[in-house]
A and B are shown apart, each in its own frame.
Chain A
């Protein structure tokens, strides 16, 4: 079992002076409260919301594998496994943004060139013959990810790299890589914080770029990544809680590295039993989580989400469209350009829709813990400045007295 290497943050700059600061900062770090308590009883919540089918008319998926290098083979396999699943369940390639930092399929160390497998038997080639990676290699950056979400692109960016969602889109966001408390590493080079993703989602909400978001993340301390969300209609789940690592599942002796992570493996295993017309719900998926098998405690956050989870179908996020209108026979309107507007929605429909609109604009009650960092910011800063002053005084004194 390979855990993510534990890193506190990017403080790994080798410098003796830093050690002093580091120790003081580490003391501060430990006090951040866990979000788990707040989301604990998610199944009992939201009973009053009007459930039923989703309002969306199109589905999108953003799948991000944030780590590089051959030894992170399993993260590539995670993302490709999700890619295969959403595609199998009906999201077209044009609606999938796949960000794959490293191309292990074509890595010189890959004994099976052009293939990526997620299980030791190597039965299913995830790379296959029909795969469209939209952001590859060094294009997988925090900036590009935020740009994909917010839609802030240069005009020259092609359609395949854009998330062209609207107010009736359901978006599935999957991320995997190495992470820690409220951050996820991108390519050993930069990090995205929980705040950045939360802000990006808020910007999407403001521009009505989604109807609902399902956020899934598999990394160490993954549940901290969704703790900062504050925009409505987001359902989030992660592989492990604060101070917990997420582990890999299995090695393949011929490939020589771990081929998939435990959490994603069990999610994908569950998804294999789901087909395009399945009625399986989110609750079924979350109930299938087994902390013993996964070796960490997966979390769910549903306080921003309005529909009860036992009425949210998995295909609302993993599948294609769910609504179809069968029209009248063409023979009934022989004139060119005559209307075939079959059924039309009445006033009742209009009213439910306005009611739904009203419901989505209900101000969101933010849990007290979520406001924590701003409140504590002052104190943290004060302590850090004291540390700095102390250090300066020490060095100054040494310099002074040596004369």
Chain B
């Protein structure tokens, strides 16, 4: 619009006659501001409020008290009468009473050979003289009333084997196994330059992978390194170099060894074959008294296993790992892997027919993992509900709600499948845990930051006061003018 220029000879116009200064237009303008503000309030409210969907809290709490109870049926195949099975049942009940924590979640029933319907997971005890023998889900044991207490103890160590919770890695449906052949210093000569890793894995570890396929999925990676210095110097004892128990705790030189790739977020179990430098052989593990111990392997709980191999003096300058050594190393690795995964060992006095694991061992592991997972999932769900209650500005989106609901459904299915299939129970428990964890770790659940009330006033006052106060003043002034106009109109 061109600037307004007064033609010569005209007087200034009365401002109140300008079209935008008429009472009607002016009030319309002021009112429109207020209309927009009023209309914007719901929008502002909607855009600044946090989406907090309600979680199925009552279902979560009702689940929190539940506990898995696995029915365990044992068939006693005995030529004698039923009194033996009754007294065995009694002996087991005594053991349950003395250590209820260990027998948590187990309902053991000893059945007669007669009147046993075909149950899927049935453990049988067959009479037999000689060395006790375990096979798939069978135990051959001399069944006499005198041997019953021993039998009950054996059953206890088969059904609820003791475990070291600190050693066993936390359950994960997927693990990465990182095998490393570490030469302390290949430049010092007589290093081991390679190993037949794929052969060793298929011979020693594949049977384990197959046996545990219900529980875990394994990814394997391997590497060979030629320079891996220790962070300390081993002590010298007699004719050898020794690692004291304290040295072992700091053996892994994590600052300089790169042991695994970081391609995925799966937990990693490390297995290291350490070849000492030629100038430091033989390197041996010392016991607490400072004497060389017969073992050349040690285990770091939840982390992995380490084997030390001192190549013999007649080894050529650089060589592959000799085959017998490879097999002995990998059978150690296999043992360490089983220990880290929490696979229970068989009682010493028993002989096993199975190549890798017996059904007893696998079932005990499945039961324990399922119990752990169920407990963990229930705890996580409870924590989510509690935290959402406790932290008021934590958003809860549809995906969190969905995951919580699905996790609860998986828990329900787990409880219904407990009497029919152990594999299904474990599968559902793992599923419930995965979903519950995913809900907990949902990136959208990040609570807004805490701001003290003073902060809010300090931020909002300069923003809104400067805009609102003139508006309020204008509206009030206009209202006053309107009222005096009406009064004048009334008088006239």
Binding site for B on A (CB under 8 A): 9-11, 13, 15, 17-18, 21-22, 25, 28-29, 55, 57-58, 87-88, 90-95, 130, 142-143, 146-147, 150-154, 158-160, 162, 164, 166-168, 192-193, 195-196, 199, 202-203, 206-208, 276-277, 319-331, 333-342, 344-347, 349-351, 353-354, 373, 377, 380-381, 384, 387-388, 391-392, 395-396, 399-400, 403
Shortest C-beta distance, B108 to chain A (Å), equals 18
Q: Which residues of B contact A55 (CB under 8 A)?
A: 166
Partner of B254, one of A202, A320, A331, A341: A320
Shortest C-beta distance, A232 to chain B (Å), equals 14
Name the residue on B nearest A339 (C-beta): B345
Partner of A9, one of B255, B285, B450, B458: B458
CA of A90 to CA of B476, assembled, Å: 71
Shortest C-beta distance, A128 to chain B (Å), equals 10
Q: Which residues of A contact B24 (CB under 8 A)?
A: none
CA of A327 to CA of B308, assembled, Å: 12
**In contact, B302 and A168 (Cβ under 8 angstroms):** yes
Shortest C-beta distance, B252 to chain A (Å), equals 7
Judge if B453 is at the interface, Cβ distance under 8 Å: yes
Q: Which of B39-47, B216-224, B291-299 contacts A (4 or more CB under 8 A)?
A: B291-299
Q: Which residues of A contact B293 (CB under 8 A)?
A: 326
**In contact, A345 and B162 (Cβ under 8 angstroms):** yes
Name the residue on A nearest B438 (C-beta): A155
Partner of B303, one of A21, A58, A207, A344: A58
**In contact, B461 and A21 (Cβ under 8 angstroms):** yes
Q: With A17-B465, A18-B462 in contact, do A341 and B443 touch (Cβ < 8 Å)?
A: no
**In contact, A381 and B453 (Cβ under 8 angstroms):** yes
Q: Which residues of A contact B437 (CB under 8 A)?
A: 207
Q: Which residues of A contact B445 (CB under 8 A)?
A: 152
Q: Which residues of B contact A153 (CB under 8 A)?
A: 441, 443
A-B contact count (CB 8 A): 277
Partner of B331, one of A94, A166, A321, A337: A337
Shortest C-beta distance, A386 to chain B (Å), equals 11
Map CB proximity to A onto B243-282 as digits: 1 under 8 Å, 0 otherwise: 0011111111011100010111101000000000000000
CA of A290 to CA of B295, assembled, Å: 48
CA of A329 to CA of B264, assembled, Å: 33
14 contacts between A and B (CB under 8 A): A22-B458, A57-B303, A130-B256, A150-B446, A151-B441, A158-B262, A160-B262, A196-B449, A203-B391, A323-B166, A340-B336, A340-B339, A344-B345, A384-B454
Q: Which residues of A contact B462 (CB under 8 A)?
A: 13, 15, 17-18
CA of A294 to CA of B122, assembled, Å: 70
**In contact, B254 and A329 (Cβ under 8 angstroms):** no
Given A324-B248, A330-B332, A337-B356, 6 extra CB contacts under 8 A: A13-B462, A324-B249, A325-B167, A337-B331, A384-B454, A395-B469
CA of A58 to CA of B301, assembled, Å: 9
Binding site for A on B (CB under 8 A): 99, 101-102, 161-167, 170, 203-204, 207-208, 231-232, 245-252, 254-256, 260, 262-265, 267, 285, 287, 293-303, 305, 307, 327-332, 334-336, 338-339, 343-346, 355-357, 379-380, 383, 386-387, 390-391, 437, 440-443, 445-447, 449-455, 457-459, 461-462, 465-466, 469-470, 472-474, 476-477, 480
CA of A158 to CA of B263, assembled, Å: 8
**In contact, A388 and B457 (Cβ under 8 angstroms):** yes
Name the residue on A nearest B255 (C-beta): A87
**In contact, A396 and B162 (Cβ under 8 angstroms):** no
Shortest C-beta distance, A182 to chain B (Å), equals 8
CA of A327 to CA of B297, assembled, Å: 6
Q: Which residues of B contact A320 (CB under 8 A)?
A: 249-250, 252, 254
Shortest C-beta distance, B383 to chain A (Å), equals 4
Shortest C-beta distance, B3 to chain A (Å), equals 29
Q: Give 7 closest A-B pairs by Cβ, nearest first.
A: A340-B335, A92-B254, A399-B473, A206-B383, A341-B345, A195-B450, A330-B332
Q: Which residues of B contact A353 (CB under 8 A)?
A: 165
CA of A162 to CA of B443, assembled, Å: 13
In this complex, which of B208, B295, B380 has the most chain A Cβ atoms within 10 angstroms of its Cβ? Answer: B295
CA of A321 to CA of B447, assembled, Å: 33
CA of A339 to CA of B161, assembled, Å: 14
In this complex, which of B99, B245, B249 has the most chain A Cβ atoms within 10 angstroms of its Cβ? Answer: B249
Shortest C-beta distance, A290 to chain B (Å), equals 30
Q: Which residues of B contact A130 (CB under 8 A)?
A: 255-256
Name the residue on B nearest A87 (C-beta): B255
CA of A351 to CA of B251, assembled, Å: 31
**In contact, B298 and A324 (Cβ under 8 angstroms):** yes
**In contact, A337 and B449 (Cβ under 8 angstroms):** no
In this complex, which of B232, B380, B390, B469 has the most chain A Cβ atoms within 10 angstroms of its Cβ? Answer: B469
Partner of A159, one of B262, B298, B357: B262
CA of A389 to CA of B343, assembled, Å: 70
CA of A387 to CA of B454, assembled, Å: 11
Partner of A193, one of B264, B335, B449: B449
Q: With A327-B295, A395-B473 in contact, do A154 and B443 touch (Cβ < 8 Å)?
A: yes
CA of A340 to CA of B296, assembled, Å: 13
**In contact, A277 and B246 (Cβ under 8 angstroms):** yes
**In contact, B461 and A388 (Cβ under 8 angstroms):** yes
Q: Which residues of B contact A150 (CB under 8 A)?
A: 441, 446
Q: Which residues of A contact B338 (CB under 8 A)?
A: 337, 339-341
Q: Which residues of A contact B252 (CB under 8 A)?
A: 90, 92, 320
